[in-house]
């Protein structure tokens, strides 16, 4: 009975920690989708020599047939935002024909938790700049 009681106590104590880890993992994996899309679009821009644009869209939003437009469909309760350096939200991430990425940051938030990435101008790599975990 003592062993069962200890297991029950450990289970009750570990549930909040597990919930925090799950929400962090969910936000990071969602943000990583955008990072992967920016990386692949950067390569496409360099190969084709054509400016590309990566935008966020909800499942019901139409996607116009525009050359060089790449859309990431976001779903669920998470709130996504793109911000230019110096302030102001933007509609997408532009990547010019040389593969240079617009200086923007991506923020994904859900239920008071958030993670923010900043894209490097030359490489397109994202680095975490802020998180609430």
Highest mean pLDDT among 4-8, 43-47, 66-70, 86-90: 43-47
Q: What is the pLDDT of residue 35?
A: 93
Q: What is the DSSP letter of 100?
A: P
Give, in order, the Cα–Cα distances in Å from 23 to each of 16, 28, 42, 54, 79.
11, 9, 29, 25, 13
Query: How does 66-92 read in b/e, with b if 16+ C-beta sit within 10 Å?
Result: eebebbbebeeebebebbeeeeeeeeb
Q: How does pLDDT run across 6-18, given as a tens digit for each residue?
A: 988 887 877 776 7
Query: How does 104-124 read in b/e, with b if 16+ C-beta sit within 10 Å?
Result: bbbbbbbeebbbbbbbeeeeb
CB of 119 closer than 8 Å to CB of 99: no
Cβ burial, residue 58 (10 Å; 0-12/13-18/19+):
exposed
Boundaries of every domain in the chain: 20-131
Top CATH class of 20-131 equals alpha beta
Provide the 3-class DSSP secondary structure of residue 16: helix
- What pTM was estimated for this model as a whole? 0.81
Q: How does pLDDT run across 71-85, given as a tens digit for each residue?
A: 998 888 889 999 998
The answer for residues whose C-beta is within 8 angstroms of residue 47's C-beta and 6 or more apart is: none
């Amino acid at each position: 009975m003592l062993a069962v009681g200890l297991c029950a106590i450990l289970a009750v104590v570990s549930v909040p920690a597990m919930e925090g880890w799950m929400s962090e993992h969910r936000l990071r994996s969602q943000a990583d989708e955008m990072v992967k899309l920016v990386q692949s679009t950067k390569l496409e821009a360099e190969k084709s020599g054509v400016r590309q644009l990566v935008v966020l869209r909800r499942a019901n939003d139409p996607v116009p047939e525009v050359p060089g437009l790449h859309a990431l469909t976001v779903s669920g309760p998470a709130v996504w935002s793109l911000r230019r350096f110096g302030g102001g939200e933007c509609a997408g991430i532009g990547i010019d024909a040389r593969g240079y990425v617009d200086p923007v940051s991506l923020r994904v938030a859900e239920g008071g938790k958030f993670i923010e990435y900043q894209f490097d101008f030359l490489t397109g790599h994202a680095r975490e700049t802020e998180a609430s975990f």
